[in-house]
Structure 1
Amino acid sequence: MIFEKQAYQQECIKNIIEVLKDFNFKTHLNLEECLKDFYNSNKTLNLGISQNKNLDILMETGTGKTFTYINAIYEIHKIYNQNKFIIFVPRKAILESVKQNLKLTKEYFYAIYKTHLKIYEYKDEKSISNIINHYINDHKELSVLLLTSSAINKKDNHLNRQKETLFHKGSVLDSIADLRPISFIDEPHLLKGDKFKEYFFKFNSLYFRFGATFPDGDDRLSNLIYALDSISAFKSYLVKQISVHTIIDKNFKPILKDINAKTKTATFETYLNGIAKKVDVKLDDDLGLKLNNKNFKDIKINSIKSNKLYLSSGEILEKSSSYLLSQDQISIMLDKAIDLHFQKEERLFKENIKALSLFFIPNISDFRGKNPFIKDEFTRLYKQKREAILKNPNLDEDYKKYLENDFDKNGDLQVLNGYFSGDSKAKGNTEDKEADDIRLILEDKVNLLNFKTPLRFIFSVWALQEGWDNPNVFTLVKLASSSSETSKRQQVGRGLRLCVNQNGKRITQNLNPHNFYDINALDVVINANEGTFIADLQKEIEETSLSFNEENLKDSDLFMLNKRQKVRLFTHLEDLGLVKFDEINDTFEIITPLFEICKDDDVIKELLKDKFDEFIKFITPSQNKATQIIDKNKKSNLTTIRKNLAKEFKELWKSINTKALIRYDDIDTKELIREVTTKFDEIEIKPKTIKITKETFISQTNTIQKEEILLSKYKLGDEFILENLSNFASENLYPLSFIIKIYNQISNKENFKNDSNLAFKNLNFIIKDIVHKNIIHKVCYDFQATNITTKTPFSYLYDANEMPKDEIEINKLGRYESQNSPKNHYLYDKVIYDSQIEKDVIENEVDKFSSNTIKVFAKLPKFSIPTPYKEYEPDFAYLIENDSGKKIFFICETKGYDKFSEIPKDEAKKIDYAKLFFKTLDKYIKSQGINADIKFKTRINKQALIDILGDLK
């Protein structure tokens, strides 16, 4: 398994170290003062300071929170010399996952910190002596104690029993508390019971809560020191995209979800055009008409009493929060799930990625024992579909061999197995195939992801929940109703983590952004009985996220503003026509992008004053335009492609879709390295200092004397820096050999030892700046013809015969839709846009200027070009024809800035490469016999097209 330090994880650890810089580790009493100092420079994290000794880290499921808090343990030990830690988890399965992470990362962290973290686990009475002799009595040993909540939440538990020995009086828990260990609580929303808190608070010491979900009420999120919520994790390409497939039975009956006896109304969940809806009904309503369901034709509600509805048909309906599927329903869902698995498995196999599928089932007996229906039905369907796939004459030969390993020597299918509560008892029998697979699922993630291991379909009765996940779960299937306590986010969280290949390398956003979600996508299969699963999932994400989702704006989002500012701001945004109020959800729907208009609005500046910059930062749009949750039952919104224009546009669109590869010619690497090292050596990074407050009790005067001691930060060793060099190269896509050559020539290596984070940050800036200056003149593009039948942007507008399609999905063009009509020479019949300047261009573009006529122009659907700064996406393409009949293919990038100098540096550098790309492409299409010119320019704010095309001839 390859471990890579992620920037966001290191940011979290940096915040932990920063907030503890003045913390009194002897008394654990001054946390509030430390937080106040921290919030002075991190205002956006200040959600309130609680009186408890908690520090909260909000981190989305699948982003590596376990790895992060393990790393934090080593850092706290190294910098603050703390040795004793506890990790609390709510369940056995989570404990096994934490143990697995500790085991896998053991040597990785030893290489960095040159110390081992000793692990102790409370299992039963027999394990107590080991805890006492080592964890408690060896004060110098760096060690962590693993505990479930059940280990301490009862008075008669072994750890809580009062014992008196020659050396100690009290319980083992008291002895542990005397050490003042620092605790880490994993999945805090599951560790909130009064009994657990009664004993946990006896520690009276600092504790961290790491979770994607936090409880409500007194245990709500507080003392927040790092936030990576669901929305920001998705926007940053750190988790998978979710697609939900709802299987609706033809005999589906609407589900009674709520009854209000006072108002004599009831709420049903039903489906209209495949989309889940909540419908309120009252006495004497015709249920068939209201719910659009033939099962209730001509049936009315006679009376409503307590939790029951009495219908005119004589049927009595009760409110339901759970369901039980029929065998036919389960069979249909299994069929769909296996299809989804096979749809992606061969493609992922070619990418060196093993695909897994996870199934939640109603009962263990459905998979084990006599006549296990789900296991038998899955086996029947899998064999049937596998045989059909093997008959494909174009099947990849290596993938074919992979499928041929599906059966063991006895002829039994070995691609499926499960983990169920109580299975830990079976693990002792190493000869038992079932026990081996249980170990594989729970403990051996590396081998589970190996192609040599045939197991790839995993079944469970909700035993694999919080704390267990696998990066290569691509399909998740709910064949059973879950507990109401299990959130939708936690359910899909089992498969949110970014996948890894056979080398253990994460597949990250270094890919083309459009291909990223072709690989990192989770398909969730649910039954219609789940009702508003998607809406509930979206609501959970919004309610637990602090980030702006760019779709709606609610009062709680603007925590940086006071009540008066919020009221007046919302009123002003409504007056501007940017938002409209949604009565049902008590939120403001965003109907026009906020950023471009708000950033220059004098009324908002005056209203928000010193909060203005913070508000603008909050609403700044993300570069990620993808949708986080896709409802696969919902028909895509479409816009018509105007075929008469599409025929003229085809030559342009085909030309710019030519496949391009970057080539670097004659780069003087030695000179480049010399410039980088010279620039870096001019920087002086001073060692950080740590301030320690020493308190001494003076008995004679009955006072406490305080003394502040400044200590230079422990300087890093060469081994740690070399490890960081590898991570730095990997994270920024630099060749490791190139980075090592730079490091070897740097004279001022003390910069790295004094503050490695700051040193690498400076080094990265210098490299990017100098590399850009050096290679902008050395970059070349090689072009080759593209097969248009493949999934390229060309295929969004034209079919395999190069004929225009009828329609294109709106989400391929933008997020917002205007009610105004586009210009007649615009390719589509609707105005779809992402920014105000795009909207203005589509609605107001002239068609004639000077001797040039715009024959057709279009917003480009998902089109990008390669640059050394990842992919670059121009906005518009124009087919222009002059009076003599000469064609000009003009590609335009629209920017909502007043001046070119305001464009962020990385974006400006991409534009430099785009100019080079299209200049080279112009030469290429001429060599292919196309009589046209290709031009590229950047359009700033409301700059008139005639001004930037004035030099076209």
Structure 2
Amino acid sequence: MKIKLETLQHQTDALTAIDKAFPGIDTTTNDPNANYIYANPLIRYRYNDKANIDIKMETGTGKTYVYTRMMYDLHQKYGLFKFVIAVPSPSIKEGTRSFITSDYAKQHFSEFYENTRVQLNVINAGDFSARSGRRNFPAQLSEFVEATRQNANQIEVLLVNQGMLHSKSMHRDDYDQTLLGGETSPIKAIAATRPVVIIDEPQRFPRGKKFYEDIEEMKPQLIVRFGATFPETTSGRGKNKITKIDYYRGEPQFNLDAVDSFNQGLVKGIDIDYPDMTEEQANNLYKVKQVKAKGLILTKGKKEYQLSVGENLADVDPGFEGNITYAGGTDRELSNGLALSKDMKLIPGTFAQNYQDEIISQALDCHFKAEEENFLRLNSGDNAPKIKTLSLFFIDSISSFRGENNGKGWLAQHFEKILTKKLKKLIERYELAIDDREKEYHSFLQATLKSLQSEHQDVYAGYFSEDRGSSDADIQAEVEDILSNKEKLLSFKDKDGNWLTRRFLFSKWTLREGWDNPNVFTIAKLRTSGSEISKIQEVGRGLRLPVDETGHRLNQDEWQSRLSFLIGYDERDFAQKLVGEINDDSPIKLNQEELTDDMIELIVQAKQKADPQFNEDQLLDDLDDHNVITRSNKFKANVELDGQTMSGYDALCQLYPELEQQTKVAKGRVRDKNSKDNTVVKLRKQNWQQLKNLWLQLAKRQMIKFDPSVNQDAETVARNVFNDSDNKIFVLQRPQMVHQEVVTDNSSASVRETQADYNTEYLTMKYGKFLKILAQQTDLSVNLLNNLMIKAIKRLRNNTNYINEKTLGNLIRTFNNQFNERIKTSYSYEPLKFSASTSIYNAKKHEFVDSVPASVLGVYQSNSTSDEKYLYDRPPLRYDSADPELKILQRSYGPKISVFGKLPKKAIKIPRFDNGTTTPDFIFKIEHGSKPIYLVIEAKAENMRLGDEEIRIIQQKYFDHLKESGVYYQMATSEQEVHDLINKLENGELN
């Protein structure tokens, strides 16, 4: 299989932005060295941030492609031919080298830049080694520095990682040869070429730090930084401390942020899973108070535990399985490779081998689910090309994988055992396959099992930094496949037609950045990464959209790709942090207090797409004419617009809807899921005043008075619940795997969660705690519950494993449901002597409020024009269901209806017998002779009927005492039902 690079729009947009931002060649210079044959032409504004360019592209969207093509572009247009690519690590360097030198990249770029080639020179550790007593320059450095402009079709590129760039070898000047006829220092020789420097992962090269100083020593005329994350700078102290992102020119010249990437389908969606724990297990955690080279201090509550190098964590807590000791040293690691840092939390249960086995097992389930879909392609048309499915495992210890003396570590052994079991089960499922593609998959699975059971398996592979010096041929083959043979990993068969079964990869964070493979569909972390790094960076190894067996990269329209990411319980907040990172990555922040420069620019750019002449002055003049802003661009509090009063910010959005539309695009249509709607809706006071007399009664508090039989009912229900003959309430509990799916839509990013049991060990809790919580949640006496529990456990053959959190939850839920069902009519409302304020009425001032938050009227909105009898001042109408609520609001009513409208949440706080309050949805005032009639409606959509009967009983009981005041209560499921009720009331047909 050959990968086919394709021109993608977002990458073309990035190249266009670079071309626009490029300062151009200095054609007016008097510099006598302008035509120096070993150096680039002189660039305008050279050696100045005014020339430098920042390109922000999210992980997985093709930064390497863009900067490689940029070099071709700058060479073709301006004759620039010497570029230095600076990367943070050897693994990123290897990924860049592999891409630039690949046949598929060369073939792709030759279509645009005929007869032009890139000569890539890579400097690695060891290249400066002295030979025969002489200290010489590496050949690749000499090649780069001394290449001239005379070879017009060749681009010279030097690729170096920051460690190599910072090394003594690059800066010393005592070599036994010279470059360019006089330079004896590599860094000065590079500077003489007036290079264009490309920085990959700029957050690793912050200005003012040592690695950026190395960049500056190369004296680049122009620096172009490519990254998803950029360095931050801080100024001030304490409350005055300001942190901002350090961009050249104050902002990136191209910005493809995380929200755009996720919502435009430029990267895979993400599912997150982790093994769940009981509350007791989760609370059994130890905090790292101090970590030094010679010792470690852990705390649990007020207790401290000191461990010296070599001491076992199991001495602190037996839950730390696996003979784990503190290794100390400069890396501050445990013996299993986990790097420790201050305030880090350690949960003993997550160190158990069977715990990691469960993550492996779940990861393989995710892998084969994706593999079946990708191989069979059932919903993608006949004979759709297959997609090779890969999985990546990040582990904490090379010895757990490689073992000792050419053996396999326990992790590799466990992985093989679990994989073998799953393979045999799958093979059995496809044993009798009839479909040709299913038969082919059966053959692939059989080849996988055969290889796994052979002496030199090629089903899974590992890559660790320690592998670079290994002489083991199998290990070197694994490393070569992972680092260099991307096409082989993506292929199903070799040139002889044999299945290529390698698709499970293991590493120890060495591949954390820089390396990626488009067909990674599962990533499993068998241990926390320790340090707090970007969550998008962590999932970044699997974000790229996949390629099929023909080398074609699929887009979201062709295949809905998702990445399964499995983590430990100690990182269970990963999904929320990831969502937070996505949502925070927005180019501007809307300000509802004042019109900011960013908001102005956003509106102007959007308007110019339709009207190129539109400018900032027109916008500000228009807003001034409508009295929306002050002279200092602050929004005015009350603005009259189209006969309605609203805030200045709302007026801006109504005049220029492009702001919200463009904000959603700029933010990738992902907002913080906890963000609140700050829009307010003003009341039409003249309409509400017609309800004043009724509201004086509704404002009076009501108390629930239960019948005397309720206490006996509680005991009867409790005895029935504990007599669980079917064992549906008393259940055994095993650990659970929590599945979280990161979901993005047009307005928000959120996490959707499901759970499933695993493992054979039962989870229990302490009886005293069990009983205490049960008593608190049911209001039953401890003595009664204790007696009932003793009888229940005896019936269950004294198996105390039934005393667990699931059983507790079942008992509480079942009792409360049955008790509430029994007493739902065994009470009445008793009026109290005082009134209380609600969302619509101020009891102290005896008047209605001026406005309410739009969110309390409904989660949806319609721009339908509202009736003059409506209770609120302006559209849009707010509602919770299109049918019947929106239809009720949009329907025309006869002249006898004087006012009507939707009631906000908590407008009438009706106490519920099962705690909380409820409020009906609508109120109508109907003129009927000398005494008006009020119709109160609880509107329910047909698909929202759960609990309707309880709500009807509660509200009916509450309004019964207001019948003499002309109040009628009904529940309705359609606007026709409401219309018929009004007609009957108008005609006196209802009592």
What residue number does 1:188 align with?
202
Distance in 2 between residues matched to 1:216 and 1:162, nearest whole Å: 38
What residue number does 2:19 align with?
17
Q: Give 3-state SS (helix, strand or coil) of 2:76's partner.
A: helix
Task: Say if 1:2 and 1:164 are closer, same or farther in 2 by CA, change over 3 A.
Answer: closer
User: Which amino acid letter does the alignment assign opposite residue 420 of structure 2?
Assistant: K
Distance in 1 between residues matched to 2:579 and 2:452, nearest whole Å: 46
Distance in 1 between residues matched to 2:270 and 2:453, nearest whole Å: 38
2:424 equivalent to 1:408: no
Distance in 2 between residues matched to 1:374 and 1:249, nearest whole Å: 22
Distance in 1 between residues matched to 2:272 and 2:592, nearest whole Å: 26
Shift of 1:484: 1.3
Distance in 2 between residues matched to 1:30 and 1:387, nearest whole Å: 66
User: Among 66, 69, 72, which residue is 1:68 paired with?
Assistant: 66
User: Among 405, 420, 423, which residue is 1:383 paired with?
Assistant: 420
What residue number does 1:617 align with?
662
2:254 equivalent to 1:241: no
- Per-residue CA shift, 1:209-251, capped at 9, x if unaligned? 1111112117723431101111001111101111111212343
Q: Which runs of 5+ in 1 are unaligned?
A: 33-49, 261-267, 271-280, 284-294, 296-316, 566-596, 637-815, 824-834, 851-953
Shift of 1:541: 2.4
User: Which amino acid letter does the alignment assign opposite residue 197 of structure 1?
Assistant: Y
Contact kept? 2:265, 2:555, Cα under 8 Å: yes
What residue number does 2:649 align with?
604
What residue number does 2:190 align with?
176
Contact kept? 1:322, 1:482, Cα under 8 Å: no
Task: Say if 1:326 and 1:71 are closer, same or farther in 2 by CA, change over 3 A.
Answer: same
2:418 equivalent to 1:418: no
2:149 equivalent to 1:139: yes
Contact kept? 1:357, 1:474, Cα under 8 Å: yes
What residue number does 1:86 align with?
84
2:201 equivalent to 1:199: no
Task: Say if 1:436 and 1:80 are closer, same or farther in 2 by CA, change over 3 A.
Answer: same
Distance in 2 between residues matched to 1:468 and 1:200, nearest whole Å: 23
Shift of 1:4: 0.5
- Per-residue CA shift, 1:57-99, capped at 9, x if unaligned? 1101111110111011101111111111111111111111001
Shift of 1:536: 2.0
2:477 equivalent to 1:436: yes
What residue number does 1:399 align with?
441
Q: Aligned runs of 1:216-295 on 2, under 5 Å?
A: 216-217=232-233, 220-223=246-249, 224-250=252-278, 251-253=281-283, 255=285
2:6 equivalent to 1:4: yes
Shift of 1:435: 1.4
Shift of 1:464: 0.8
Contact kept? 1:163, 1:171, Cα under 8 Å: no
User: Which amino acid letter does the alignment assign opposite residue 86 of structure 2?
Assistant: F
- Per-residue CA shift, 1:808-864, capped at 9, x if unaligned? xxxxxxxx99765999xxxxxxxxxxx9788684422159999xxxxxxxxxxxxxx
User: Which amino acid letter does the alignment assign opposite residue 30 of structure 1?
Assistant: Y
What residue number does 2:224 align with?
208
Aligned length: 550
Task: Say if 1:556 and 1:19 are closer, same or farther in 2 by CA, change over 3 A.
Answer: farther
Contact kept? 2:4, 2:108, Cα under 8 Å: no
Contact kept? 1:55, 1:225, Cα under 8 Å: yes
Shift of 1:18: 1.2
Contact kept? 1:187, 1:210, Cα under 8 Å: yes
Q: Give 3-state SS (helix, strand or coil) of 2:259's partner.
A: helix
Contact kept? 1:354, 1:501, Cα under 8 Å: yes
Shift of 1:191: 2.6
Task: Say if 1:217 and 1:245 are closer, same or farther in 2 by CA, change over 3 A.
Answer: same
Distance in 2 between residues matched to 1:145 and 1:501, nearest whole Å: 32
Task: Say if 1:93 and 1:318 are closer, same or farther in 2 by CA, change over 3 A.
Answer: closer
Task: Say if 1:31 and 1:132 are closer, same or farther in 2 by CA, change over 3 A.
Answer: closer
- Comparing 405-414 with 449-458, greater Cα deviation is found at 405-414
Q: Give 3-state SS (helix, strand or coil) of 1:56's partner.
A: strand
2:474 equivalent to 1:460: no
Contact kept? 1:77, 1:83, Cα under 8 Å: yes
- Comparing 449-458 with 136-145, greater Cα deviation is found at 136-145
Distance in 1 between residues matched to 2:352 and 2:149, nearest whole Å: 59
Distance in 2 between residues matched to 1:200 and 1:108, nearest whole Å: 30
Shift of 1:408: 2.8
2:496 equivalent to 1:494: no
Shift of 1:26: 4.9
Distance in 2 between residues matched to 1:613 and 1:627, nearest whole Å: 15
Q: Give 3-state SS (helix, strand or coil) of 1:454's partner.
A: coil
- Per-residue CA shift, 1:757-778, capped at 9, x if unaligned? xxxxxxxxxxxxxxxxxxxxxx
Contact kept? 1:152, 1:159, Cα under 8 Å: no
Q: Give 3-state SS (helix, strand or coil) of 2:523's partner.
A: strand
Contact kept? 1:354, 1:502, Cα under 8 Å: yes
Shift of 1:540: 2.4
What residue number does 1:469 align with?
516
Shift of 1:524: 0.8
Shift of 1:329: 1.2
What residue number does 1:118 align with?
119
Distance in 2 between residues matched to 1:338 and 1:168, nearest whole Å: 60
Contact kept? 2:536, 2:578, Cα under 8 Å: yes
Shift of 1:531: 4.0
User: Among 365, 388, 392, which residue is 2:399 paired with?
Assistant: 365
Task: Say if 1:534 and 1:558 are closer, same or farther in 2 by CA, change over 3 A.
Answer: farther
Contact kept? 2:147, 2:156, Cα under 8 Å: no
- Per-residue CA shift, 1:439-497, capped at 9, x if unaligned? 11111111101123211110001011110011111111110121415322111111111
Distance in 1 between residues matched to 2:460 and 2:199, nearest whole Å: 33
Shift of 1:502: 0.4
Task: Say if 1:163 and 1:496 are closer, same or farther in 2 by CA, change over 3 A.
Answer: same
Task: Say if 1:282 and 1:553 are closer, same or farther in 2 by CA, change over 3 A.
Answer: farther
Distance in 2 between residues matched to 1:254 and 1:160, nearest whole Å: 57
Distance in 2 between residues matched to 1:625 and 1:388, nearest whole Å: 37
2:598 equivalent to 1:560: yes
User: Which amino acid letter does the alignment assign opposite residue 128 of structure 2?
Assistant: E
Q: Aligned runs of 1:643-722 on 2, under 5 Å?
A: none
Bigger Cα Rg: 2
Distance in 1 between residues matched to 2:411 and 2:363, nearest whole Å: 13
Shift of 1:405: 0.9
Distance in 1 between residues matched to 2:192 and 2:657, nearest whole Å: 48
Shift of 1:600: 13
User: Which amino acid letter does the alignment assign opposite residue 467 of structure 2?
Assistant: D
Contact kept? 1:249, 1:329, Cα under 8 Å: no
Task: Say if 1:630 and 1:839 are closer, same or farther in 2 by CA, change over 3 A.
Answer: closer
Contact kept? 1:151, 1:159, Cα under 8 Å: no
Contact kept? 1:57, 1:226, Cα under 8 Å: yes
Shift of 1:630: 6.3
- Per-residue CA shift, 1:892-939, capped at 9, x if unaligned? xxxxxxxxxxxxxxxxxxxxxxxxxxxxxxxxxxxxxxxxxxxxxxxx
Shift of 1:605: 7.6
Q: Aligned runs of 1:795-874 on 2, under 5 Å?
A: 820=858, 841-842=882-883, 843-846=885-888
TM-score (norm 2): 0.50
- Per-residue CA shift, 1:493-541, capped at 9, x if unaligned? 1111111110111121333xxxx43xx1011111111142222222222
Aligned-residue identity in percent: 28
What residue number does 2:373 align with?
347
Q: Give 3-state SS (helix, strand or coil) of 1:467's partner.
A: coil
Task: Say if 1:113 and 1:269 are closer, same or farther in 2 by CA, change over 3 A.
Answer: farther
Task: Say if 1:179 and 1:555 are closer, same or farther in 2 by CA, change over 3 A.
Answer: farther
Contact kept? 1:59, 1:212, Cα under 8 Å: yes
Contact kept? 1:232, 1:547, Cα under 8 Å: no
Q: Give 3-state SS (helix, strand or coil) of 1:183's partner.
A: strand
User: Which amino acid letter does the alignment assign opposite residue 152 of structure 1?
Assistant: L
